[in-house]
């Protein structure tokens, strides 16, 4: 009876150990930081894959892709496979390309592409977060320009009204905005 209990005890411990080990392996494989470190360690291999991808997109001589080239090749099996291997879901080619083109040059170089893909990959749909950040930055910048433009125009308008009426117009609103 004791050997049967020992065997059962050993079998249960073996199953528990197997579940624990499998959980640890799955966790390590899905850990974003580990994946990024592994990609950086194998940077040359990834750069070679990107060169191959760029070649398929038509940029074999220049080493850069334009939006037109990217849009044309985004749905090719090789491109889709590459993005899937990185965990990227590229559903909006224009937004994704803008996020990769950080220098706003209208073309993406291999290194820029690699760094952009690293930055945007992950489970939190980094492409969406990156697009929101990009659009928010644009909105803040242009709202500031619009506000400055409107302040100048309102000041001009109050000065014109003052000239036509001969009355002094209260500019307290402009002092409040500037404060």
Tokens 């940077």 — which residue? Answer: 43
Q: Cβ(90)–Cβ(96) under 8 Å?
A: yes
Would you say 162 and 169 are in contact if contact means Cβ atoms under 8 Å apart? yes
Q: Does position 174 have pLDDT exceeding 70, yes or no?
A: no
> CB of 51 within 8 A of CB of 110?
yes
Distance CA 4, CA 25 (A): 31
Q: How far apart are CA 93 and CA 90, in angstroms?
A: 6
Confidence (pLDDT) at 42: 74
The token duo for 158 is: 């109050």
* Stretch among 6-20, 58-72, 159-173 having the lowest mean pLDDT: 6-20
Return the axis-axis angle of helices 110-120 and 43-57, rounded to nearest 10°. Answer: 110
List, for residues 60-76, the tens digit of each pLDDT value. 677 788 888 888 887 88
Question: Residue 113: which residues within 8 A CB-CB, separation 6 or more?
Answer: 50, 54, 65, 100
pTM of the full structure: 0.47
Per-residue confidence band for 30, with pLDDT thresholds at 50, 70 and 90: low
The DSSP letter of residue 168 is: P
């Amino acid at each position: 009876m004791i050997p049967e209990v020992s065997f059962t005890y050993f079998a249960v411990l073996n199953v528990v150990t197997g579940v624990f080990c499998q959980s640890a392996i799955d966790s390590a494989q899905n850990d974003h930081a580990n994946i990024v470190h592994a990609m950086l360690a194998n940077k040359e291999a990834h750069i070679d894959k990107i060169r191959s991808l760029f070649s398929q997109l038509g940029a074999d001589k220049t080493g850069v892709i334009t939006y037109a080239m990217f849009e044309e090749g985004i749905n090719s099996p090789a491109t889709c496979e590459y993005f899937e291997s990185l965990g990227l879901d590229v559903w909006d080619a224009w937004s994704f390309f803008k996020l990769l083109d950080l220098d706003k040059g209208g073309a993406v170089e291999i290194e820029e592409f690699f760094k952009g893909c690293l930055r945007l990959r992950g489970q939190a749909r980094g492409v969406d977060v990156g697009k929101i950040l990009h659009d928010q930055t644009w909105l803040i910048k242009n709202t500031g320009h619009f506000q400055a433009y409107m302040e100048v125009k309102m000041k001009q308008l109050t000065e014109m009204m003052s000239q036509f009426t001969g009355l002094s117009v209260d500019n307290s609103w402009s002092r409040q905005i500037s404060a």
